[in-house]
């Protein structure tokens, strides 16, 4: 019987630092970056322990890639490809104490370094008429039900009592084209999205076009957004009384909100399939006042990209976390874990954009987040691609997997949000959910009735 032996070389850091890696993603979060962050936050160990601070940072990041594992199991993943090397075998207690020594500051600083729009050559896919579309929205994330967490993050009140776990509210600012994280903040669920949005204005420079739901159409928030130099495209309630100062040729009209000139677009959107048609009315507020350069119908079509942040939250909460609560049982641990989660999401997105950029004209939407996540996990357990060769391959093994398993072109979204898996037996008694996929035709009519 013919046999073949496969030998491979694994290059890692020396000594007790060997277990500190993120597989191929280490190239995006290199040793030098971690060391600089630790030095800036004064968290570099005074003496080299069995668990150096750099290794603990990589442990926290790897923990987000393996959200179904305890930290002992995550450690086993990190050292699985290092057989033959004298690596430590820390206990649960040692790993916990190492995370507590590290604290949340290094992860916050690392997130600040990595956040921002991904560099891409796919300008047509990520920009709109010279502007970079962004989206802001919030979501709730459950944390471990411990006395320490309850002191900081209360349980969310519901009609039928409190929720099972304490919750925090996360608000993020994302690019629509690549779903890269521009900024993010989180607080107890008692802090509202509007309060968090005011803090996110720190990351809104000129040249951005912010998309947001009608919850963000408050006059003071619009003023805070526009003060940054960014432009807005926000949905607002159809019954809101706004004065008309002038009607534009495309059917939109100019108005003023708290001294800020705005343009109002009212549109009727109809979606037709073989199963019938559905029609809904939308009212949008924008600071793009020139109807020739920014036609009303084009802005209505662009607003559909607001849903990109819903997809991003699905990837965070379902694809990465698998619907699980966060592990950390203290507020500082929650701070660590949230920032680690955002960092891992950001570097995965960067790896995906690097892959799609290698093929000119390929839309970043075609890259599968699930494929990238599984490929990144495999690279960790194999300890592969940790230290780059002299010739750097921006695509790498993760990118090759992404390009091999591209998603089809994005379909038109035509179904309303719905509960697919109910927590209550009463919700399941509603109308039957049609899960079929239809070819759809969308028509947009700008309404010209006086307000």
Q: What is the per-residue pLDDT across 8-59, written as a single tens digit (0 to 9) for each?
A: 777 888 888 989 999 999 999 999 999 999 999 999 988 888 899 999 999 9
Long-range contacts of 386-390 (CB under 8 A, 24+ apart): 386/10, 386/11, 386/12, 386/21, 386/22, 386/23, 386/24, 386/26, 387/11, 387/12, 387/26, 388/27
Is residue 3 domain-resident?
Answer: no
**182 and 100 assigned to the same domain:** no
Contact assessment for residue 66 and residue 77, using Cβ atoms and an 8 Å cutoff = yes
Is residue 127 domain-resident?
Answer: yes
Alpha-carbon separation of residue 180 from 41, 67, 261, 282, 349 (angstroms): 25, 21, 30, 27, 6
Is residue 322 domain-resident?
Answer: no
Per-residue pLDDT at 390: 57
What range does the domain containing 399 cover? Answer: 23-114+331-362+368-405
Assign residue 229 a region: left if phi > 0, alpha if psi is -120 to 50, beta otherwise? left
Q: Give me the chain's average pLDDT, please.
A: 89
**33 and 130 assigned to the same domain:** no
Instruction: Report the C-alpha gap between 263 and 128 in whole angstroms.
Output: 18
**128 and 253 assigned to the same domain:** yes
Is residue 263 domain-resident?
Answer: yes
Contact assessment for residue 406 and residue 368, using Cβ atoms and an 8 Å cutoff = yes
**245 and 344 assigned to the same domain:** no
HSE-CB at 47 with a 13 A cutoff on CA atoms is 2
Owner of token pair 């969308």? 442
Q: Kindly report the CATH number assigned to the domain that includes residue 212.
A: 3.90.350.10
Residue with the bigger pLDDT between 420 and 300: it is: 300
Is residue 432 domain-resident?
Answer: no
Give the model confidence (pLDDT) of 157-169 as tens digits: 766 556 689 999 9
Is residue 319 domain-resident?
Answer: no
Per-residue pLDDT at 417: 55
**147 and 87 assigned to the same domain:** no
Is residue 436 domain-resident?
Answer: no
Beta bridge partners of 131: 128
Q: In this model, does residue 171 exceed pLDDT 50?
A: yes
Per-residue pLDDT at 432: 60
Is residue 1 domain-resident?
Answer: no
**298 and 346 assigned to the same domain:** no
CB neighbour burial string for 358-376, b if at least 16 within 10 angstroms, e if fewer: eeeebbbbbbbbebbbbbb
Instruction: Report the C-alpha gap between 215 and 141 in whole angstroms.
Output: 19
Beta bridge partners of 172: 137, 184
State the pairing for strand pair 132-142/208-212.
Answer: parallel
Per-residue pLDDT at 47: 83
**136 and 107 assigned to the same domain:** no
**292 and 151 assigned to the same domain:** yes
Number of domains in the chain: 2
Give the model confidence (pLDDT) of 61-71 as tens digits: 999 999 999 99
């Amino acid at each position: 019987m013919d046999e073949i032996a496969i030998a491979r070389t694994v290059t890692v850091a020396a000594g007790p630092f060997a277990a500190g890696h993120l597989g191929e993603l280490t190239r995006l979060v290199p040793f030098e970056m971690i060391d600089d962050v630790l030095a800036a936050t004064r968290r570099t160990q005074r003496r080299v322990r069995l668990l150096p601070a750099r290794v603990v940072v990589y442990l926290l990041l790897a923990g987000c890639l393996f959200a179904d594992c305890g930290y002992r199991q995550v450690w086993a993943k990190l050292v699985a490809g290092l057989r033959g090397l004298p690596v430590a075998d820390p206990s649960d207690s040692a790993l916990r104490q190492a995370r507590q020594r590290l604290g949340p500051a290094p992860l916050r600083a690392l997130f600040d370094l990595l956040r921002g729009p991904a560099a891409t050559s796919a300008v047509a896919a990520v920009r709109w008429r010279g502007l970079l579309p962004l989206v802001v929205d919030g979501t709730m994330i459950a944390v471990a039900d411990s006395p320490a967490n309850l002191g900081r993050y209360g349980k969310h009140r519901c009609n039928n009592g409190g929720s099972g776990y304490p919750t925090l509210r996360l608000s993020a600012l994302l690019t629509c084209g690549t779903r890269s994280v521009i900024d993010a903040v989180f607080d107890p669920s008692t802090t509202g999205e509007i309060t968090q949005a005011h803090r996110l204005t720190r990351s809104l420079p000129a040249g951005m076009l912010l998309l947001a739901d009608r919850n963000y159409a408050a006059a003071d928030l619009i003023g805070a957004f526009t003060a940054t130099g960014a432009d807005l495209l926000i949905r607002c309630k159809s019954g809101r009384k706004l004065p008309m100062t002038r009607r534009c040729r495309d059917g939109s009209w100019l108005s003023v909100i708290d001294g800020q000139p705005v343009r109002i677009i009212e549109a009727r959107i109809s979606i037709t399939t073989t199963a019938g048609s559905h029609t809904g009315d939308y009212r949008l507020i924008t600071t793009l006042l020139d109807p020739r350069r920014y036609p009303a119908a084009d802005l209505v079509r662009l607003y559909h990209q607001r849903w990109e942040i819903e997809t991003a939250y699905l990837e965070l909460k379902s694809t990465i976390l698998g619907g699980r609560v966060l592990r950390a049982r203290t507020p500082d641990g929650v701070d660590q874990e949230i920032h680690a989660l955002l960092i891992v999401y950001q570097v995965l997105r960067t790896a995906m954009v690097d892959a799609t950029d290698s093929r000119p004209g390929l839309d970043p939407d075609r890259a599968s987040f699930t494929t990238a996540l599984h490929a990144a996990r495999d690279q960790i357990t194999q300890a592969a691609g940790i230290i780059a060769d002299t010739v750097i391959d921006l695509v790498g093994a993760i990118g090759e997997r992404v390009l091999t398993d591209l998603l089809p072109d994005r379909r038109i979204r035509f179904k309303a949000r719905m509960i697919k898996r109910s927590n209550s037996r009463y919700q399941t008694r509603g109308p039957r959910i049609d899960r079929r996929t239809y070819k759809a035709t969308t028509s947009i009519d700008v309404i010209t009735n006086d307000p």
